[in-house]
Amino acid sequence: MERLKYKLLSVVLLIACSATSAMAQEAVIRKNLGDRITQLPKIDEISKTPVPGIFEIRVNGTDIYYTDAQANYLIQGNLIDTKQRRNLTQERVDKLNAIHFDALPTKDAVTIVRGNGQRRLALFEDPNCGYCKKFEKDLLKVSNVTIHLFLYPILGASSIDNAKNIWCAKDKVKTWQNWMVRDIAPPDATCDREALVRNVELGRKYKISGTPTIVFADGSRVPGAIGSDQIELRLAQQTTKSP
């Protein structure tokens, strides 16, 4: 029994020493980078990488840099696992940028259900975005999906007017598709437009800078338009991952 207690105490002390060492290491990196690169934004997090002696520095929420134990060097670029052929930096950024799908305020979205609606997508689109119009025409090929469309008018005053008229229409879905697919302008309409303000705030929170932006049920996102075949592939992957 005494021997077991001694072993347990040794393990606890080892863990405590390791934690203290990690904190000291982080303090060195923070101090040296803060002293040497004053324009570097506040460091959000410092963590080890699979490469011995190299640490990940995270700033601005999702910006990734790398440094050595003494912060003598700052590296900007992708960390590639050559054995597994994986871009570890991109995987990390994708994880940091992931959006909790079920937390999206769908009450502020135009919900479009096609077929059985079992698969799920969220879209951030500006009604005056030319790429969005091409994307919407191709998206008609995708069925058995529920789409939560967040009107995201960021391209100017005309975008805001069109978004307002679509959001305030009696049939939002039909008005949206008439405009995006058939070039039928949405008629003037008035209602409470605070949902559009919240959508812009939501997009800024998630650093959505362009449209369309596609969000899948696992939280992954795609900035920009992709083809319906690629969407089908991503949706199939989502279904495979589901329990």
- What percent of the chain clears pLDDT 90, i.e. is strictly above it? 84
At 21, is the pLDDT very low, low, confident or very high (cuts 50, 70, 90)? confident
Q: How are strands ordered across the β-sheet holding 119-125?
A: 110-114, 145-151, 119-125, 213-216, 221-223
Task: Supply the pLDDT for residue 172.
Answer: 97
Same domain for 111 and 88: no
Evaluate whether 146 touches 112 at the Cβ level (below 8 Å): yes
For 49-84, the pLDDT digits (tens) are: 999 999 999 999 889 999 999 999 999 999 999 999
Number of domains in the chain: 2
Of 54, 79, 97, which closes a domain?
97
Domain interval for residue 33: 2-97
Query: How high is the mean pLDDT of the chain?
Result: 90
Same domain for 131 and 42: no
Task: Supply the pLDDT for residue 200.
Answer: 97
Of 48, 71, 97, which closes a domain?
97
Task: Supply the pLDDT for residue 13.
Answer: 41
CATH number of the domain at 193, please. Answer: 3.40.30.10
**CA distances to 84, 124, 149, 215 from 222, in Å:** 23, 11, 15, 7
Residue 107 has pLDDT above 70, yes or no: yes
pTM, 2 dp: 0.77
Q: Pairing mode, if any, of strands 145-151 and 119-125?
A: parallel
Same domain for 211 and 107: yes
Same domain for 151 and 182: yes
Same domain for 125 and 87: no
At 241, is the pLDDT very low, low, confident or very high (cuts 50, 70, 90)? low
HEC secondary structure over the chain: CHHHHHHHHHHHHHHHHHHHHHHHHHHHHHHHHHHHCCCCCCEEEEEECCCCCEEEEEECCCEEEEEECCCCCEECCCCEECCCCEEHHHHHHHHHHCCCHHHCCHHHCEEEEECCCCEEEEEEECCCCHHHHHHHHHHCCCCCEEEEEEECCCCCHHHHHHHHHHHCCCCHHHHHHHHHHHCCCCCCCCCCCHHHHHHHHHHHHCCCCCCCEEEECCCCEEECCCCHHHHHHHHHHHHHHCC
